[in-house]
Structure 1
């Protein structure tokens, strides 16, 4: 039987420790790469919208998520003067990218692909529309097969995008699509709210100074649903996510009365979608370059242990749960202080 628990015993100490742990501390040490592909707009209004989304996403990844500028490549429909990180979104340029640039990605890195535009599904073939020949889901899967990344994340924000999950789903892959099925053929708004979550900070739902793929996509799905309601419209897109390799996907936002309690819930079952996306970060903790690698590894390991422990809360007695959580948080706070102390000493000696 669970005994009565006085939460005040731990609450104040936990608050202090959490504040010590979750402090941003400098430039990121991890390498992430991103390919942003803006498709064919079809008319001036959509061309302008996709260009805006592509440009904002590039800036968000570099300025907010702290991707290296040379690691973010943007391909759009209307780029007059191509460079290594800006070029026209043709199938030929995509092939060149995957033949050359993508080969620099190692199995320690995370590779992100963002598709912004229109899509379609015909004769069991899913396509993303490009200037000239379109990109099929099967072609993208072939490209990705040659990328030696720790994790591959694909966010397809186009109409009829759900069909890409069937082709791309697999080991060490996180796939998010703006639509729940290929019959959701209307132009989507998902990318607008994906960007809002990053730009305004609301994607960091647990306020730990990181933004996971699951947080970013779930927040985008929620804001998209709210936008349709505010406009007095029936939502014509319902985002899904797949990261367990079954090729099916799970809805990211479901009205409370329709919610399946097991879907994207605790992430304690690794067979459920969301477990990997919850541990894959668009925006990671950041550290000054002078901090020793072993200190960073210790801190990240402790933060992962804290995340794992929190997932056990519903199945544990209250007292043992908070005792161990406090222990882990204190160790993380001590390591955080050591990192900041090392950085301060380095800065002083450099003056």
Structure 2
């Protein structure tokens, strides 16, 4: 009964911290829900044994969540930058390899070939082609290097012709799945309002196009994406939100330790309102304040989006992954409404969502295991 373990894990890592051990009533509710869940699980188990039905393997054939990582290392300008940009890019490639994720790496730190100056084989053309080919997948695009902004047009520097924010947006607009666009370069804040739209996560190293100095945020983000310490909600995986939060705080700490004026302020935007929020807006992975009145809540999609899935998340097909996201979003929305609900109502709703999540994972894992047995 794997779902019992997931339920207990959820209670310990997500629910009890919210209760804060402030009342015996809260702990009593935890015990009641747990006993109820164990009894329900035993009843379900005996029912399954009694019917002795064959597992439904059709769901195993559902299309899995397909991710495509595209890493673009831009023109470095100086050899000192080239080494840094290459190292940061290699960490993203290693992260994709660890999760057996398809990746493409356009390495702009290598000497440019004479033929690469043509439109047919330029870095810009390769990038646009790769984006088009990935339109039916969950796309992760990581841009590492330098950027420019002249007050009107924002660009990411490539070998050969640079790419503008508007050109990038036009290419990305054909995508059908979730898109994660990570902009690790100076002046990248000017890309945020152009790329922002519902269903897309946009991360920038700077808060505006005016922050034009060399950016270090890309270093810390490439370290955080596989760092277990970034797993703030203890679910054995690192979401892009968690990686962003750790990287942003490490970037801030760098300037404090060096007694320098911070020249970059990373932002995350996933609500489609073109605003973005900083790490200071979060406590743990929960947004505790909004950028302005009327803006959407940022961080919800990012909290559910992973480059490397945990073992349990990897068992979910595309439809179940979508259902999981809906349930987790419902849980986050419920937390925001807690102050307007009675204590009994709040905990009852949390328990229902937790049970659904546990059953969702349990069914998926059982069917995957059954498929493996059939395949032997």
Query: Where on the TM-score scale, by shorter chain, does this alignment land: which range?
Result: 0.7 to 0.9
Paired residues in the alignment total 321
Aligned mates of 2:141, 2:152 — CA distance in 1: 23
* 2:29 counterpart residue number: 10
> Given that residues 210 and 285 in structure 1 are in contact (C-alpha distance below 8 angstroms), is that contact kept between their aligned partners in structure 2?
yes
- TM-score (structure 1 length as normaliser): 0.76
* 2:166 counterpart residue number: 138
Cα shift at 1:330: 3.0
Matched, 1:103 2:132: yes
> Given that residues 38 and 75 in structure 1 are in contact (C-alpha distance below 8 angstroms), is that contact kept between their aligned partners in structure 2?
yes
Aligned mates of 2:360, 2:302 — CA distance in 1: 26
Aligned mates of 1:246, 1:11 — CA distance in 2: 38
Structure 1: runs of 5 or more not aligned: 18-27
> Given that residues 105 and 149 in structure 1 are in contact (C-alpha distance below 8 angstroms), is that contact kept between their aligned partners in structure 2?
no
The CA RMSD over aligned residues, in Å, is 3.7
Cα shift at 1:239: 0.6
Residue-by-residue CA offset, 1:316-344 (whole Å, 9 max, x unaligned): 22222222222332343344334444444
> Given that residues 5 and 319 in structure 1 are in contact (C-alpha distance below 8 angstroms), is that contact kept between their aligned partners in structure 2?
no
Matched, 1:50 2:85: yes
DSSP-derived class of the 1:276 partner: helix
> Given that residues 123 and 158 in structure 2 are in contact (C-alpha distance below 8 angstroms), is that contact kept between their aligned partners in structure 1?
no
* 1:153 counterpart residue number: 180
Aligned mates of 1:126, 1:216 — CA distance in 2: 25
* 1:328 counterpart residue number: 353
Matched, 1:128 2:128: no
Structure 2: runs of 5 or more not aligned: 1-22, 38-62
Aligned mates of 1:180, 1:288 — CA distance in 2: 33
DSSP-derived class of the 2:140 partner: strand
Cα 1:211–1:316 change in 2 (3 A) is: farther
Cα shift at 1:347: 4.1
Which of the residues 318, 334, 342 maps onto 1:317?
342
DSSP-derived class of the 1:47 partner: helix
Matched, 1:209 2:236: yes
Cα 1:282–1:68 change in 2 (3 A) is: closer
* 2:140 counterpart residue number: 112
Cα shift at 1:46: 0.6
Cα shift at 1:73: 0.9
Most deviating of 231-240 and 333-342: 333-342
* 2:271 counterpart residue number: 244
Residue-by-residue CA offset, 1:213-252 (whole Å, 9 max, x unaligned): 3222222111211222223333211011233333333223
> Given that residues 36 and 74 in structure 1 are in contact (C-alpha distance below 8 angstroms), is that contact kept between their aligned partners in structure 2?
yes
Aligned mates of 2:210, 2:203 — CA distance in 1: 16
Which of the residues 78, 87, 90 maps onto 2:109?
78
DSSP-derived class of the 1:167 partner: helix
Cα 1:29–1:79 change in 2 (3 A) is: farther
* 1:93 counterpart residue number: 123
* 1:33 counterpart residue number: 68
Which of the residues 273, 280, 301 maps onto 2:298?
273
Cα shift at 1:12: 5.5
DSSP-derived class of the 2:230 partner: coil
DSSP-derived class of the 2:280 partner: coil
Aligned mates of 1:208, 1:154 — CA distance in 2: 24
Greater fraction of residues in helix: 2
- TM-score (structure 2 length as normaliser): 0.72
Which of the residues 215, 218, 225 maps onto 2:252?
225
* 1:23 counterpart residue number: none
